[in-house]
Structure 1
Amino acid sequence: MNNDLQDYLHALVVEQGLAKNTIFSYRQELTEFFDFLKTQKITEFNKIDRYTILNYLKYCDEQQKSRNSIIHAVTSLRQFFHYLLMQNKITADPMLKIDTPKSAHHLPQVLSSKEIEAILRVPDTNKPLGIRDRTLLEVMYATGLRVSETVNLKLDDLRLEMGLISTIGKGDKQRIMPIGDVAIHWLTVYLSGARKQLLRGQDCPFVFLNNHGKQLTRQGIWKNLKAIVKKAGITKNVTPHTLRHSFATTLLENGADLRTVQELLGHSDISTTQIYTHVTKKHLTEVYNKYHPRA
């Protein structure tokens, strides 16, 4: 079964040309499904039926996975079993009568300017890793980069003298965006001192490094951010994507038009960007209710 999984992932790269992060997501979701099959003592694909899938989705729900995570899992399973059917690995597709759950509509979590400042003050900038963390947070908040774009940012992508950086986003689309003076300042400090210390004489093309002089991982950013947020005394569920949400919301609240924010975020469809207009309206309502005497 694991060999079939590897063949499937290889086919996604060769035949569909999917991005590395998409492949990683499929692998992770299908591996979790395979782990579940082990608990059910299922070792053959043909022994998987509709009820196996329903039990797995129930298990995901019991693990308190988000609605959107479960939707992604269903999509991954649907495509995988279709592949197995086309390869004659199974005689019937167990996903045929499985409905995809409806997407959960909720507003993204955002941070206030005070909360952003509290987070930025946490890293100890007297230490190389503290300078790296401060720089990373400044860059993510100043540009709205996705966490995958941040870890894959290379030295060649920086045009600090022009106040620009470039990145490869979803669908391997390149976009060039401005970066503010504060983030440029911290990048300059980091690149001229702390990064060289982290390199330890090695060579690495990526901007953000771990303590061993290697490319910082997505998991590394998540782990560090959780610790920083806790130390800042913030109780919100903050993820790296929260900084991206906060970036977009800050721009709209200060008068940026939706098309500009769409370009900066790298959204192919403006409807994806429009959710932030609801966030800003919610913020305006909260401010009105708090400060207007007739509210």
Structure 2
Amino acid sequence: MTDRSNKDSKKSPVKIRFKAMKDGRRSIYLDCYRNGHRSYEYLKLYLVPETDDKSLRLNEAAMRKAETACRKKLRELKKLPAENRRLMDTQDCISNKGISILEWLSRFKEIQRSRGVHDIHAIDRLCAILSEMNCGDTKVNEIGKDFCIAFVEYLKTGYKTAKGENLKPKTAFNRQCTFVTALNVAMREGIIPTNPMNLLSHHERAKASKGKRDYLTIDEVKRLIATPCKNNMIKNAYLFACNCGLRLGDVRKLKWGDITQDNDRWILSVIMNKSGKPIHIPLGVQARRWIPGCEDSGKHDTGSLVFEHLPGDSHINDILKIWAADAGIAKSVTYHTARHTFATMLLTLGADLYTVSKLLGHSQIKNTQIYAEIINRRKDEAVNLIDKVFD
């Protein structure tokens, strides 16, 4: 017990951290934590994907330099007079905790980009709303329950679109989600101790009205397979998601190193963009069928993207709508319908709700329950067909 307490008391205030970059490299930086305040020092050192002996040696050299920089930083902290250390802590407090909400959202946008989040326009829209509220200069650490309630009320009734209309419930809910995520990341960065949005009760929050959740039947998926698409990479990426349930953001950043093969068993392992949680999905034959170059999986660079050159989200959805129409499907097809299709296909074929929940990466099974409700409605509709015959 004594050894453990001594170890805990001697935790290093300077740690080496890594940040993933779009080109497959990882940036090395120092995470300095003193008296409850955190600051960062980027070293301009990078780790490259280890594909040969040369890249291995480069990474070893970069890590040696990073460890030297870490030891140097520790020595600097130890040599600082007490009043200088307090001054530096105060400066960290100003630079981190004294940041305004609009300044933080600008930094949050860069953090999301570094995580591989492609569509970050929602952050710009949130900035516009906060600017309209005349609260863009509010410090993040000054945001409390009253501010959050006022923000939600403004989403519901105060903010007007270009047509002079209120935001739709779903849109207001989405802006609220972006705000919550931004505050969660601020909490992880040590800027705020807790997320003030968690103080709001359920009825105080913006709620999305239950809309129709479109998905494709197995027959409709077969029709898409048989129909040519003007962009084969989009076709492959969509049908892949129909068989594994990944969101578009996660498909965009999927690398060959995220897929492992053990004889005939393939496993996909990624950190989900939306939740930041790891997920492990077995890839069946149908999922692997739509992976470009799957037959040469062992020859690909582990740091390279599986689905390269995917266009922007709106362009993808435009192509999907044309493709679906060509296949004779009248539903509103977007990329996210592939995730819904994966869930409903599994439940239709007899998979249990708990297993489907884990495959989707849901933290609560109630989030998966809506797909079960969809399947139950289809059962009711099927039974009603008999009644219509005898009527």
- 1: CA distance between counterparts of 2:119 and 2:291? 31
- 2: CA distance between counterparts of 1:203 and 1:247? 26
Larger Rg: 2
Cα deviations across residues 134-167 of structure 1 (Å, max 9, x unaligned)?
Answer: 3212211100111111111111112355232222
1:68 equivalent in alignment to 2:173: no
Q: Pick from 129, 136, 158: which aligns with 1:33?
A: 129
Match of 2:342 in 1: 247
Match of 1:162 in 2: 265
Shift in Å, 1:120: 2.4
Name which structure has the greater RCO, CA cutoff 8 Å, separation 6+.
1
- 1: CA distance between counterparts of 2:103 and 2:308? 32
Shift in Å, 1:221: 3.0
Identity of aligned residues (%): 24
Shift in Å, 1:52: 7.4
Q: Pick from 253, 260, 268: which aligns with 1:152?
A: 253
Task: Answer yes or no: is the 8 Å Cα contact 1:67–1:101 preserved in 2.
Answer: yes
Distance 1:45 1:187, change over 3 A: closer
- 2: CA distance between counterparts of 1:78 and 1:189? 39
| AA aligned opposite 2:171 | S
The residue correspondences of 1:3-18 to structure 2 (distance < 5 A) are 7-9=103-105, 12=108
TM-score normalised by length of structure 2: 0.53
Match of 2:323 in 1: 228
- 2: CA distance between counterparts of 1:231 and 1:258? 33
Match of 2:120 in 1: 24
Cα deviations across residues 181-216 of structure 1 (Å, max 9, x unaligned)?
Answer: 1332332556759xx9xxxxx997111122xxxx65
As a proportion of its length, which structure holds more helix? 1
Count of residues in correspondence between the two structures = 256
Task: Answer yes or no: is the 8 Å Cα contact 2:292–2:306 preserved in 1.
Answer: no
Structure 2 residue runs without a partner (length 5+): 1-98, 138-149, 192-199
Distance 1:135 1:79, change over 3 A: closer
The residue correspondences of 1:153-192 to structure 2 (distance < 5 A) are 153-159=254-260, 161-169=264-272, 170-187=274-291, 189=293
Match of 1:93 in 2: none
Structure 1 residue runs without a partner (length 5+): 88-95, 197-201
Indicate the RMSD between aligned Cα atoms, in angstroms.
4.3
Match of 1:208 in 2: 307
Task: Answer yes or no: is the 8 Å Cα contact 1:209–1:216 preserved in 2.
Answer: no
Q: Pick from 381, 384, 389: which aligns with 1:286?
A: 381
As a proportion of its length, which structure holds more strand? 2
Shift in Å, 1:20: 6.1
Task: Answer yes or no: is the 8 Å Cα contact 1:122–1:231 preserved in 2.
Answer: yes
Task: Answer yes or no: is the 8 Å Cα contact 1:68–1:104 preserved in 2.
Answer: yes
| AA aligned opposite 2:129 | F
